[in-house]
């Protein structure tokens, strides 16, 4: 697994790095970085579903969170099909060999079950937040 800054924020909640199967992208924010003098970034707010976790004192379920991930110094961005529901099949992060033409060392793929799909390269990934959410009986955040 590639290095992800502050990954412990998510790992503490889920007992390890979560699976993003059936997670839902709620927001995608692209920033050029120009106003702050930095590189372009992409932030994703992702509803990560509950997960059963086996601990030393027994099993427990960890509830859903909205995870905010930031991808720094992005390039080769291809995103499409964003709509009212954006369900991931998986979020794939791969280490890549930087090249002279592209020094970014990670490739991220948003494999889609429905809605948002895409891929891009980035230099760094950081977990900014993991906010627990409550879902009502219809599955909507409350």
pLDDT in tens, 6-53: 999 998 888 888 889 999 999 999 999 888 888 999 999 999 986 655
Output the CA–CA distances (angstroms, integers) from residue 28 to 23, 60, 129, 140, in the order listed. 14, 31, 15, 19
pLDDT given for residue 139 in this prediction: 52
**Token digits for 103?**
């020094």
Cα gap 34→70, rounded to integer Å: 16
* 3-state secondary structure at position 11: helix
Whether 138 is covered by a domain: the verdict is no
Is the pTM higher than 0.75? The answer reads yes
Whether 3 is covered by a domain: the verdict is no
Number of domains in the chain: 1
Average pLDDT over residues 79-107: 88
**Token digits for 95?**
């280490």
Confidence of residue 108 (pLDDT cuts 50, 70, 90): very high
Average pLDDT over residues 102-115: 90
Whether 140 is covered by a domain: the verdict is no
Cα gap 78→42, rounded to integer Å: 12
Average pLDDT over residues 114-134: 94
Name the one residue in this structure whose structure tokens are 């059936």. Answer: 22
Average pLDDT over residues 76-97: 94
Whether 57 is covered by a domain: the verdict is no
Whether 141 is covered by a domain: the verdict is no
Cβ atoms of residues 53 and 60 within 8 Å:
yes
Region of residue 119 (phi > 0: left; psi between -120 and 50: alpha; otherwise: beta) = beta
Cα gap 123→138, rounded to integer Å: 38
Express as a percent the part of the chain with pLDDT over 90.
60
Whether 2 is covered by a domain: the verdict is no
Whether 78 is covered by a domain: the verdict is yes
Whether 139 is covered by a domain: the verdict is no
Domain span at residue 31 reads 8-52+62-132
CA–CA–CA angle 47, 3, 11 (5° rounding)? 45
């Amino acid at each position: 697994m590639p290095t992800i800054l502050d990954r412990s924020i998510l790992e503490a909640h889920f007992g390890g790095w979560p699976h993003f199967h059936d997670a839902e992208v709620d927001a995608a924010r692209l920033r050029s970085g120009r106003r702050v003098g930095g590189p372009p970034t992409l932030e994703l707010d992702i509803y990560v579903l509950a997960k059963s976790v086996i601990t030393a004192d027994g099993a427990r379920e960890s509830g859903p969170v909205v995870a905010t991930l930031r991808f720094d110094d992005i390039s080769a961005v291809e995103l499409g099909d964003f709509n009212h529901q954006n369900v991931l099949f998986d979020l794939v992060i791969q280490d890549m060999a930087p090249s002279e033409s592209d020094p970014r060392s990670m490739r991220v793929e948003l494999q889609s079950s429905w809605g948002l799909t895409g891929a891009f390269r980035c230099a760094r990934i950081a977990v900014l937040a993991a906010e627990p959410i409550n879902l009502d009986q219809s599955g909507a955040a409350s």
